Amino acid sequence: MPSEFAANTVAVSPQRALKAVVKLTQRRQKPPISVDDFLATLQDKYGMHEAVELIEDAR
C-alpha cells in the first residue's frame, strides 16, 4: 500500500522528509502551494496520515 510505504520511508528520517517537502513546495510556482496545504493534500487525497503526522512532528 503506498501510504504504508510513505510512512515507512518518512520514519527513517522525518527531518529529511520535512526538508524534501519544503524544497518541493518552494519549487512549485504554478500554482504555489504552502507546506501545510501540501501536507493536507497528502493526507486528504492520498490517505498518508501516518507519514504526514511524522513530518509534522519533525517541525
**CB burial class (10 A; 0-12, 13-18, 19+) of residue 39?**
buried
Which pLDDT score is estimated for 1? Answer: 83
CA-to-CA dists, residue 40 to 30, 46, 57, angstroms: 18, 9, 14
Which pLDDT score is estimated for 2? Answer: 84
26 DSSP 8-state letter: H
Name residue 24's amino acid: L
The model's pLDDT over 5-50, given as tens digits with 9 standing for 90+, comes to: 999 999 999 999 999 999 999 999 999 999 999 999 999 999 999 9
User: For the chain, which residues make up each domain, given as ranges?
Assistant: 2-58
pTM recorded for the entire structure: 0.88
